[in-house]
Amino acid sequence: MIVNTKREKSLFDELRFGNNGYLGFIKIISFIMNKKLKDLIDIYFAKASNNIISQINHFDKITNSLFILTQSLFDNKEKIEYFQRELEGKFFRFGLANQSLINLIKGNEFNLVNQNAKIVDIFSINSITRMQIESFLIIYYLLFDDISTQEKNFRYNVYKLHGLQKQLEFNITSDFPKRKEFLNKIKKESNEAIKNIKNSEIYNSADKKTQYNYLNPKYAKLIKSKVLFEKSGIKDERVDEMWKIYSNYAHSEHISDRQYNSIYRIEKSVLKECSLVLSINSILTSKIIINFINQFESVKNKYLQMSADKRNQVEFWSKMEDIKS
């Protein structure tokens, strides 16, 4: 049993050394259950009442957990697979975007027509949330989908090749220092990815048209986002519907104009919108954490050492009661 607080240690010692072991056991179970129940009640009321301050605090704990667990993987020097090479960077950027959301939800202070103003930029918040949903799908696609290591390595090579080919398409006209060296490096990495793809059994068993598409990928993913929404479980939370809506903000489509009039001129409040954003991003981050700890033993051990309130937050929002053994 992991003992995290003085109160827990006192109860645990009573069970180990006390004469009334059964009573001590009941006290420990009661304490743990009461703590979890309290945390769940706090989460519920923060959401039900649109208490943004509390929701930000909860979300910050989840985000902080992602940072801590990511660092623990490398502190413990655990070996990672080829397809996991981008893990640290992706998790750090995901957590960094979460922090940007927190700062934006707290409000921007600036001078507006000679008056000090504090405004929550809900449109930037929605655009970042759309980005986070897409980042989650890529993370799930590359790292967590229930497929073989061979398939994950293949996906990673195609994903990498797509990005490198996009870079080579850029019309780099400026004669910046080491320009030639930069382009040669990209070409070298691109050739390595092509070689890895061609050496794969997946490539060699495909027809000519599919092989061509593997070597000239139009998209970073080989399967559609719709499939990933379902496989990852976030379709059940209707995150896919919000992704479509948030895309309108990113593309400055007419629905964003209508939302501006509704939010800032009629309702004059963004509490509901901010509450929804915090819920969505809490779900995404928690699901990443649960998948992460189920892949690495050292990360799972670090997770079990974390405070109960952080674990309760993660397990509530991920919709998973237990960690895989």
Instruction: For residue 249, name the pLDDT band (cuts at 50, 70, 90).
Output: low
CB neighbours of 65 closer than 8 A, spacing ≥ 6?
A: 289, 303, 306, 310, 313, 314
CB of 58 closer than 8 Å to CB of 313: yes
Q: Which of 35-49, 107-121, 138-152 has the highest mean pLDDT?
A: 138-152
pLDDT at 219 over 60: yes
Q: What is the pLDDT of residue 31?
A: 54
**C-alpha of 306 from chain center:** 19
What one-character DSSP code corresponds to residue 207? -
**What span, in angstroms and rounded, lies between the C-alpha atoms of 278 and 101?**
8
Q: What is the pLDDT of residues 135-175, one digit of tens each?
A: 999 999 999 999 999 999 999 999 999 999 998 887 655 56
For 109-141, give one letter per residue: b (16+ CB within 10 A) or e: eeeeeeeeeeebebbebbbbbbbbbbbbbbbbb
Structure-token pair, residue 179: 């320009």
**What span, in angstroms and rounded, lies between the C-alpha atoms of 283 and 70?**
18
Domain spans in the chain, listed from the N-terminal domain onward: 1-49, 51-152+231-317
Q: What is the pLDDT of residue 198?
A: 98
CB neighbours of 268 closer than 8 A, spacing ≥ 6?
A: none
Instruction: For residue 45, name the pLDDT band (cuts at 50, 70, 90).
Output: confident
CB neighbours of 248 closer than 8 A, spacing ≥ 6?
A: 254, 255, 256
Return the H-helix or E-strand segment holding 164.
helix 149-169
Tally of CB atoms within 10 A around 1: 10
Q: What is the pLDDT of residue 253?
A: 61
Phi, psi of 80 (to 5 degrees): -115, 155
Tally of CB atoms within 10 A around 271: 13
**What span, in angstroms and rounded, lies between the C-alpha atoms of 168 and 163?**
9
pLDDT at 267 over 60: no
pTM of the model: 0.83
CB of 255 closer than 8 Å to CB of 61: no
Rg, C-alpha atoms of the chain: 24
Structure-token pair, residue 93: 């950027």
Q: Letter for the amino acid at 310?
A: K
CB of 233 closer than 8 Å to CB of 287: yes
Q: Which of 6-10, 41-45, 114-118, 126-130 has the highest mean pLDDT?
A: 126-130
Torsion angle of alpha carbons 262, 266, 267, 269, nearest 10°?
Answer: 80
CB neighbours of 283 closer than 8 A, spacing ≥ 6?
A: 234, 237, 239, 317, 318, 319
Terminal C-alpha separation, the chain: 15
Instruction: With CA atoms as reference, report the closest residue to 142 among 155, 161, 160, 158.
Output: 155
Q: What is the pLDDT of residue 27?
A: 53
Q: Write down how long the chain is.
A: 325
Share of the chain above pLDDT 90, in %: 58
